[in-house]
Every structure is written in structure tokens, then in C-alpha cells.
């Protein structure tokens, strides 16, 4: 499948079957993470910066997901946070975040999840077609799923985004990067946003934040710097619950910026972020 076939869904694809598999895989990896958490979690290595950790459990959870997928879906490709890309022939790619919210996992703060999604087309949030996904909150077991055209649900309850009357009345989720320079810039943007919204929540796991938008526990979400595996499942859950999920300046969701929320209020947030140069453009020499 070439890049020109962006998002072409292979004939005979059963998105409900894929949703069921994503759910069982996320729960199985979630059980491993929950039952195997040592009293004191050690940092096994760091990645993009000294405060971007990976733990032995991030790797073990991803290994379990990859092993199960190799058995269940041998022709599909895999894009995972902690391992090498695996090519496929089916046109489908599984996008894995073995522990989203690793810093929370490290500190024992309860907001962390296993995120499993499957997409058609190039493994790029701006060009793929997300088909099914599951976000499983490890500590309390909340499980969000979605299937393309099949809606979003949490533990059997159908989800619908909230309809906040205005940006000023909106509860907004966001997050900050692992590089100090990036955080400095994000703090400047936050100073523009905070006086214009009800309040901010920094919960620490983008996949869960997007699912909270889907169920109306957050009205809006935005973040610069999140990866494909952070947004793959949560973005579909939010979209299937009625949220607009995109970027700035007409772009789709990407590491440059990901924004989610109910129309029309989300447009107010997008305009505010564009004016603030939150995507690193417009006279901003810093990152
Ligand atoms: C995390 C995201 C979070 C963001 C963190 C980090 P990880 O993903 O879920 O929204 O603020 O900087 O990117 O690293 O735990 O998979």
C-alpha cells in the first residue's frame, strides 16, 4: 500500500473485531503492569531528556503486546513507543503505548494507561484512518474503546462530549514536554490560556485526557509534543464521541499540536493557541 492510498481501509476489515482485540490486549498488558509494579519503581533508561524515563515495565508491557499481535495478526505492522517498527503486508498498523503516563507510573500517581490502536494508511496521525482503539486505565480498570463509525464507550456506557457554553466556562486538559526549553514556551502559552478558561488540569497521560474529553470530564484538551502512540486510541475515542480532533492552522493532530473538544467552543481554543504561537510559529524563535 503506497502513501498515495492514505487511509484506504482493506476490504473486509471488521472494526468491531479489531475493537475487541484492542480491548483484550490492553487489559492483558494492564494486568501485567498492575500486578507487576514493584514497591519502588526504578528508571531503566532515559530517552529524549534526563527526565524522559523508560522503565522495565514499559518494555515488558510492549513485549507482551508485540508477542500477542505477532500471533493474532502476523500480517499487520507495529509502531510502538519502546521498540522498533515492524513492517506488515495487510495495510494495517497497530500503534502501541505500553504505559502512557510513565512519570505517573514512576511516582505512583494513578493516571496511567495502556493504549492500543489500529490504523489504516501511513502511521501518521495527520494521514492515517484510525479503525479501532482501547485505552485501559491500569490502576482503576476504566476501559475506553472506540471503533470507526461504531461509537465510543467506557465499560459499556456510550460516550458523548460535553457542550460547554463558552471557552471561559471550559475545563481544559493539557501537558508539558520533557525538554526545559519546550516547557518554558508552554508556560508562556499557558499564561495566555489560563485567564481565558474555567481552569486547567494537568493529569499526565494524553491518552486518558482525550478519553476524558470523550466522556465530558474535560471540555477541551491541547498539547504540543505528543507522539502518534499517545493520540492513536484516545483520539479515536474522542472523535467517535463527537469531538473535533485536529491541530492548528488547518492541520491535523500531530506532535506540532493536538487539540480536541466539542464544536463550536474548540474553535475558540484553536484561535487562542494560534494567536499565542503555541505551535512554535509566528515570531517565536524559541521552540
Ligand atoms: C506522556 C503524555 C503526556 C505528556 C508527557 C508524555 P509518555 O507520554 O501522555 O500527555 O504531557 O510529556 O509525553 O511519555 O508517558 O508515554
The residue-averaged pLDDT of 60-78 equals: 98
Which residues contact ligand 1 via a Cβ below 6 A?
81, 97, 100-102, 175-178, 204-206, 223, 226, 230
Q: Distance between CA atoms of 98 and 117, rounded to whole angstroms?
A: 11
Is pLDDT at 106 greater than 60 in this prediction? Answer: yes
Mutation probe of ligand 1 site: the residue of 205, 209, 231 with most atoms within 8 A of C-beta? 205
User: Residue 196: how many CB atoms within 10 A of its CB?
Assistant: 15
- What phi-psi label fits residue 8: left (phi over 0), alpha (psi between -120 and 50 degrees) or beta? beta
Helical ranges in the chain per DSSP H? 15-35, 56-72, 102-107, 180-193, 206-214, 228-240, 265-275
Chain segment 83-95, per-residue pLDDT in tens = 999 999 999 999 9
- Residue 280's pLDDT band (cuts 50, 70, 90): confident
**Which ligand 1 atom is nearest residue 104's CA?**
15
**Residue at grid coordinates 480498570:** 141
Is pLDDT at 283 greater than 50 in this prediction? Answer: no
Grid coordinates representing 123 are: 502511521
Residue nearest to atom 10 of ligand 1 (CA): 206
Task: Kindly give the pairing relationship between strand 199-201 and strand 171-173.
Answer: parallel
Is pLDDT at 284 greater than 60 in this prediction? Answer: no
Mutation probe of ligand 1 site: the residue of 54, 185, 204, 259 with most atoms within 8 A of C-beta? 204
How many angstroms separate the Cα of 129 from the Cα of each of 103, 135, 155, 159?
Answer: 29, 18, 24, 20
- Mean pLDDT of the residues in the chain: 95
Length of the chain in residues, anyone?
A: 287
Percent of the chain exceeding pLDDT 90 equals 94
**Which ligand 1 atom is nearest residue 225's CA?**
13
Q: Could you tell me which residues come within 8 angstroms of residue 257 by beta carbon, excluding any fewer than 6 positions away?
A: 222, 223, 224, 247, 248, 251, 273, 278, 279
Ligand 1 centroid to Cα of residue 239, in Å, is 20
Ligand 1 centroid to Cα of residue 30, in Å, is 17
Mutation probe of ligand 1 site: the residue of 116, 175, 183, 187 with most atoms within 8 A of C-beta? 175
Is pLDDT at 282 greater than 90 in this prediction? Answer: no
Which residue, among 200, 206, 218, 207, has the nearest Cα to 161 in the 3D structure? Answer: 218
The residue-averaged pLDDT of 139-157 equals: 98
- Residue 281's pLDDT band (cuts 50, 70, 90): low
User: Residue 183: how many CB atoms within 10 A of its CB?
Assistant: 16
Q: Distance between CA atoms of 50 and 148, rounded to whole angstroms?
A: 38
Chain segment 209-242, per-residue pLDDT in tens = 999 999 999 999 999 999 999 999 999 999 999 9
Mutation probe of ligand 1 site: the residue of 116, 226, 234 with most atoms within 8 A of C-beta? 226
Ligand 1 centroid to Cα of residue 89, in Å, is 30
Amino acid at each position: 500500500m503506497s502513501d498515495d492510498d492514505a487511509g484506504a481501509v482493506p476490504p473486509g476489515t471488521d472494526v468491531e473485531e479489531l475493537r475487541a482485540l484492542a480491548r483484550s490486549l490492553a487489559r492483558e498488558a494492564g494486568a501485567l503492569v498492575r500486578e507487576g509494579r514493584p514497591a519502588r519503581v526504578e528508571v531503566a533508561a532515559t530517552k529524549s531528556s534526563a527526565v524522559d524515563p523508560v522503565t522495565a515495565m514499559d518494555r515488558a508491557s510492549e513485549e507482551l503486546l508485540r508477542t500477542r499481535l505477532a500471533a493474532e495478526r502476523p500480517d499487520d505492522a507495529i509502531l510502538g513507543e519502546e521498540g522498533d517498527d515492524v513492517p506488515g503486508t495487510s495495510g494495517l498498523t497497530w500503534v502501541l503505548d505500553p504505559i502512557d503516563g510513565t512519570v505517573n507510573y514512576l511516582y505512583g500517581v494513578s493516571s496511567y494507561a495502556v493504549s492500543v490502536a489500529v490504523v489504516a494508511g501511513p502511521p501518521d496521525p495527520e494521514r492515517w484512518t484510525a479503525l479501532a482503539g482501547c485505552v485501559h486505565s491500569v490502576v482503576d480498570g476504566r476501559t475506553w474503546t472506540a471503533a470507526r463509525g461504531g461509537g465510543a464507550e467506557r465499560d459499556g456506557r456510550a460516550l458523548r462530549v460535553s457542550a460547554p457554553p463558552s471557552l471561559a466556562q471550559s475545563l481544559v486538559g493539557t501537558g508539558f514536554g520533557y525538554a526545559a526549553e519546550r516547557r518554558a514556551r508552554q508556560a508562556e502559552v499557558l499564561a495566555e490560556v489560563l485567564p481565558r478558561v474555567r481552569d486547567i488540569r494537568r493529569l499526565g497521560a494524553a491518552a486518558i485526557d482525550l478519553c476524558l474529553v470523550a466522556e465530558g470530564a474535560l471540555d477541551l484538551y491541547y498539547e504540543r509534543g505528543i507522539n502518534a502512540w499517545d493520540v492513536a486510541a484516545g483520539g479515536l475515542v474522542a472523535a467517535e464521541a463527537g469531538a473535533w480532533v485536529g491541530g492548528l492552522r488547518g492541520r491535523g493532530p500531530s506532535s506540532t499540536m493536538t487539540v480536541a473538544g466539542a464544536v463550536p467552543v474548540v474553535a475558540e481554543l484553536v484561535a487562542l493557541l494560534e494567536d499565542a504561537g503555541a505551535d512554535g510559529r509566528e515570531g517565536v524563535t524559541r521552540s
